[in-house]
């Protein structure tokens, strides 16, 4: 019941240039790709994502964009919109989905030494935070944390390896596709420069957490300190790993009897766990102002899709879940006691109906997003 949790970002659709300009662009690009791409290039969209690898949290898809209605935009909306409209082109619109699929799938087979940040500038910080989470939750050497990078999409061998691992293409066909995409990179102003190509953060029940450079970059541009972003995402996704490990005991009959409520339950619990760790005396030791800053950014985009399998809870509910996790951590401040995941889970259940779900849960009259 924890699978397939999808964070839908409500941002405006992009607008391309005039039709005549697009036609000229597409004609020149088509000629360039025909001349450049390997003749072994075959069907590009043949990748299959195993069911084990479908636990997405902040996945962004151009094809899923919807125009905001009554919900006010947030700084996060603004920077995402700016990133889309700043240099989107016809090729970016056409190949965005397959590019992000390749970038995501590569993280499952990546055996390179891991780095975080486009230039590895956050590697030490993320490694230290990972060790802190391992100690805090008594989970040493159980979870693999990997970075997602735009650079993958400009690496011939890495692109080909995705096709070789997640499709039935031959080696010649896989490398033909890789050559095709390298030619697309040369022709497009959007691919592969956009941070939206590594705008990903997810936990897989294959004991894997992935955080993309683009997600952290855009969150930082929206005004949240970069290290808080890394800590917040990592702590939230780590909570999902704890849920995976305790599914049989915590949710023997599923987290709820319907997908939207089950996803909301597990997401609110992950928010609670993350805030608990981020503020605990033996965790990240952030004060509420810094935790609230992170939560405002990611949770107040708004989610009133009450019938959606990916419903994460309303902004008010998610903020209250984080506040409850913070309050619970502060209540232990004197002795700095470390609790088991079971004990934190039981505390979340107590807060859920007494504090968290007292936030409005009914959709507004126009079934749009709530305003905060």
**Residue 98's pLDDT band (boundaries 50, 70, 90)?**
very high
Residue 272 has which token pair? 């609670």
Query: Which tokens in the block code for residue 170?
Result: 């031959």
Classified as helix, coil or strand, 130 is helix
- Beta-carbon contacts of 19 under 8 Å, excluding residues fewer than 6 positions away, are none
| pLDDT, position 89 | 86
Of residues 312 and 80, more confidently modeled: 80
Other CB atoms within 10 Å distance of the CB of residue 166: 20
Q: Measured between alpha carbons, how far is 18 from 237 in angstroms, rounded to an integer?
A: 42
**Placement of tokens 């990997």 in the chain:** 146
The reported pTM is 0.80
DSSP H helical segments within the chain, as ranges? Answer: 19-36, 75-87, 90-109, 123-136, 156-166, 171-187, 213-221, 226-245, 247-250, 259-279, 288-299, 315-331, 341-354
Whether the Cβ atoms of residue 241 and residue 209 lie closer than 8 Å to each other: yes
Question: For residues 283 and 136, is the Cβ–Cβ distance under 8 A?
Answer: yes
Residue 100 scores a pLDDT above 70: yes
Q: What is the pLDDT of residues 233-271, one digit of tens each?
A: 999 999 999 999 999 999 888 776 667 777 778 888 999
User: Is residue 213 scored above 90 in pLDDT?
Assistant: yes
Q: For residue 194, what are the CA distances in angstroms to 30, 61, 149, 218?
A: 21, 13, 11, 10
Buried residues in 316-348 as b, exposed as e (16+ CB within 10 A): bbbbbbbbbbbbbbeeeeeeeeebebeebbebb
pLDDT at 361: 43
Place of tokens 């990133």: 83
Percent of the chain with pLDDT over 70: 71
Distance CA 7, CA 121 (A): 27
pLDDT in tens, 54-80: 554 444 444 444 333 334 456 676 777
Q: Is residue 220 classed as helix, strand or coil in its secondary structure?
A: helix
At residue 293, the pLDDT reads 81
Tokens of 56: 């997405």
Give the C-alpha separation, 314 to 170, whole Å.
Answer: 46
Q: Is the pLDDT of residue 371 over 50?
A: no
Which pLDDT does position 253 carry in this prediction?
82
CB 324 within 8 A of CB 359: no
Q: Cα(1)–Cα(317) distance, rounded to whole angstroms?
A: 20
């Amino acid at each position: 019941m924890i699978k397939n949790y999808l964070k839908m970002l409500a941002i405006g659709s992009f607008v391309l240039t005039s039709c005549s300009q697009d036609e000229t662009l597409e004609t020149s690009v088509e000629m360039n790709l025909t001349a450049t791409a390997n003749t072994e290039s075959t069907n590009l969209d043949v990748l299959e994502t195993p069911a084990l690898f479908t636990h997405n949290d902040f996945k962004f898809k151009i094809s899923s964009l919807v125009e905001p209605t009554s919900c006010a935009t947030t700084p996060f909306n603004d920077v995402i919109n700016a990133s889309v409209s700043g240099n989107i082109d016809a090729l970016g619109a056409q190949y965005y989905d397959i590019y992000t699929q390749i970038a995501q799938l590569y993280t499952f087979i990546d055996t390179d030494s891991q780095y975080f940040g486009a230039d590895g500038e956050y590697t030490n910080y993320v490694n230290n935070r990972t060790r802190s989470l391992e100690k805090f939750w008594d989970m040493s050497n159980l979870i693999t944390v990997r970075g997602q990078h735009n650079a993958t999409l400009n690496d011939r061998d890495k692109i080909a390896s995705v096709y070789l691992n997640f499709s039935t293409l031959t080696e010649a066909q896989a490398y033909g596709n890789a050559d095709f995409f390298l030619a697309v990179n040369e022709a497009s102003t959007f691919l592969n420069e956009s941070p939206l190509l590594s705008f990903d953060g997810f936990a897989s029940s294959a004991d894997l957490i992935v955080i993309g450079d683009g997600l952290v970059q855009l969150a930082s541009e929206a005004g949240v300190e970069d290290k808080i972003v890394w800590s917040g995402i990592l702590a939230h996704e780590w909570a999902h790993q704890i849920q995976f490990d305790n599914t049989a005991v915590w949710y023997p009959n599923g987290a709820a009897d319907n997908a939207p409520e089950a996803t909301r339950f597990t997401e609110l619990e992950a928010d609670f766990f993350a805030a608990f760790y981020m503020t605990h005396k033996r965790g990240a030791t952030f004060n509420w102002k810094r935790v609230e800053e992170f939560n405002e950014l990611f949770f107040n985009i708004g989610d009133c899709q009450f019938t959606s399998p990916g419903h994460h809870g309303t902004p008010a509910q998610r903020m209250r879940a984080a506040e409850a996790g913070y309050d619970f951590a502060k209540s232990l401040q004197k002795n700095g006691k470390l609790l088991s995941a079971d004990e934190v889970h039981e505390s979340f259940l107590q807060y859920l109906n007494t504090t968290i779900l007292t936030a409005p849960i009914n959709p507004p009259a126009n079934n749009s997003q709530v305003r905060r």
